[in-house]
Amino acid sequence: MLTTRAIRECLASDLLNLDGEGYLRDNLPDTDDYADFERRYRDDGGSKYNPSGPVAEYIEFLAARRLARLLCAGTGLEAGKLHVNVQPVSGSFANLAVLRGALSPGETVLSLGLSSGGHLSHGAPFHQSGQDYNVVSIDHGVDDQSLDLESLYKTAAAHKPRVVIIGASSFPRKISWEQVAEAVGGLSPRPVVVADIAHFAGLVATGAYDNPLPWTDVVTMVGYKTLGGPKSAAIAVRDPALARRIDRALFPGLQGAPRMAEICALATAAHVAQGDEFRQLIHRSVANAVLLRTALGEYGVHCAFGGTDTHMLVLKDQPRSVRLAQYLERIGVFTNSNLLPGDRGPTAATGIRLGTVGATQRGLESAGIPDLAALLADAFGDFRNSGAKSGTLAERCRRFARTRLADIEDRHPS
């Protein structure tokens, strides 16, 4: 998702000059009224080791409060009882803090395999999470349309993980968090179940993707991608004792002072995500992805995992996909190479991942999907023929953008 002027103004604000090391106290006033918050700040003093002033502390409070409301909406859970840490600088740091807060080094984590759509911060061997813990993973086939819950149960029963972290960076089908929780809920001891919704936070906020609460213990998410905010992250935790351990694992364990300008931008994004215009944008993006999948299929370009339930398409059978992604960028289409089940490694990846939210923000309608599919299919064919028509295709991309898309500031909810 492309950021709005409001998000960029937050990121360029004077909040960049503040430190604010530490966390807010727990007994803050239950109000969105800044006057009440400032009065308590003046009476009781600031919460932080390094003072940042009442405005900065209020912004952090507001960001956590808005995200709690966003995640708890429709779940029956009380937003005021959900602990939200808005200080992680990235989703990877958020996930690592969760693991460090819930585990001791060497304990077992169960996750979705990297080539099956999982994320490297869920225990990939070249990531810190994979080096600190004993990681076991579940996988599925390139055409499987859902998680293999039987494999999840059997693997968990065999290895007794202390944490089960499930989330998808390139698995575009919906995940039933209730079924995930049920699959491991009978184990003793019961593992901490973590849902990483980094790629789908905006979809969760608008009901376009299943909400992991109340089925999971922890939810991690990022501010950008489908939420439209800054390059930041958040951790939502239901159990207060676990929340305290995760907080300490993040600060002072992994990070120092929070980035107050990014937290301000995250608060703004959480506010926008509650609006009808944002909801409509996300649902149009999902509809466009489904239409694009069908249109591409008419050219013999097919999706891994049988299609999509989200804004994301993962195209299969694309040899040399690293080079293909570079070629597509050269003509004006931004995608990325992606590992798929059965691939030997990143340099031999056969998947291409793309999303529809950015184009939908800029006004892509269903009428433009056939033209986009034809352009992509021609680009894939030209790549196989050594890119002889790349100049012509680059001009087609520019023409498509001029006729089918609009300037971002005119098309984004604010």
Question: What residue type is assigned to position 253 of the chain?
Answer: G
Report which of 83, 58, 57 is spatially closest to residue 245, judged by C-alpha positions. 83
Q: What's the whole-number average pLDDT of the chain?
A: 95
Which of 165-169, 291-295, 336-340, 410-414 is predicted with the least confidence, judged by mean pLDDT?
A: 410-414
**What is the model's pLDDT at position 413?**
58
**What is the model's pLDDT at position 408?**
66
Q: Are 195 and 181 in contact (CB under 8 A)?
A: no
How many beta carbons lie within 10 A of that of residue 162, not counting itself? 19
Report if residue 277 sits inside a domain.
no
Q: Rounded mean pLDDT of 216-232?
A: 97
Q: Give the domain-ending residue among 222, 245, 272.
A: 272
Number of H helices, E strands in the chain: 16, 10
Residue 115: strand pairing partners: none
Q: Rounded mean pLDDT of 243-253?
A: 97
**CA–CA dist 234, 98 (Å, integer):** 11
Q: Rounded mean pLDDT of 285-310?
A: 98
Kindly state the percentage of the chain with pLDDT values over 70.
Answer: 98
Residue 329 has pLDDT above 90, yes or no: yes
Report if residue 239 sits inside a domain.
yes
Q: Which residue has the higher pLDDT, 395 or 409?
A: 395
Residue 351 has pLDDT above 60, yes or no: yes
Q: Rounded mean pLDDT of 164-191?
A: 95
How many beta carbons lie within 10 A of that of residue 136, not counting itself? 17
Query: 347 and 249, same structural domain?
Result: no
Query: 155 and 53, same structural domain?
Result: yes
Report if residue 176 sits inside a domain.
yes
Report if residue 278 sits inside a domain.
no
Query: 342 and 258, same structural domain?
Result: no
pLDDT class of 45 with cuts at 50, 70, 90: confident
Q: Which two tokens stand for residue 128?
A: 């810190």
Structure letter (DSSP) for residue 14? G
Query: 247 and 288, same structural domain?
Result: no
**What is the model's pLDDT at position 414?**
53
Report if residue 369 sits inside a domain.
yes
- Model confidence over 101-119: pLDDT tens digits? 999 999 999 999 999 999 9
Q: Write the DSSP string, 123-155.
A: T-TTSHHHHHSEEEEE---TT--S--HHHHHHH
Q: Which two tokens stand for residue 383?
A: 């790549």
Residue 410 has pLDDT above 70, yes or no: no
Q: Are 201 and 226 in contact (CB under 8 A)?
A: yes
Q: Rounded mean pLDDT of 218-236?
A: 97
pTM: 0.95
Q: Give the domain-ending residue among 244, 272, 300.
A: 272
Residue 281 has pLDDT above 70, yes or no: yes
Residue 151 has pLDDT above 90, yes or no: yes
Q: Domain range spanning residue 160?
A: 5-272
Q: Are 210 and 174 in contact (CB under 8 A)?
A: yes
**What is the model's pLDDT at position 336?**
95
Report if residue 310 sits inside a domain.
yes
Q: Which two tokens stand for residue 382?
A: 């030209």
How many beta carbons lie within 10 A of that of residue 129, not counting itself? 24
Query: 302 and 265, same structural domain?
Result: no
Residue 256 has pLDDT above 80, yes or no: yes
**What is the model's pLDDT at position 44?**
85
Query: 68 and 36, same structural domain?
Result: yes
**What is the model's pLDDT at position 412?**
55
Q: Rounded mean pLDDT of 172-198?
A: 96
Query: 138 and 48, same structural domain?
Result: yes
Query: 133 and 82, same structural domain?
Result: yes
Residue 28 has pLDDT above 90, yes or no: no
Per DSSP (E only), the strands in 11-144 are 83-85, 108-112, 134-138
Query: 20 and 166, same structural domain?
Result: yes
**CA–CA dist 398, 105 (Å, integer):** 51
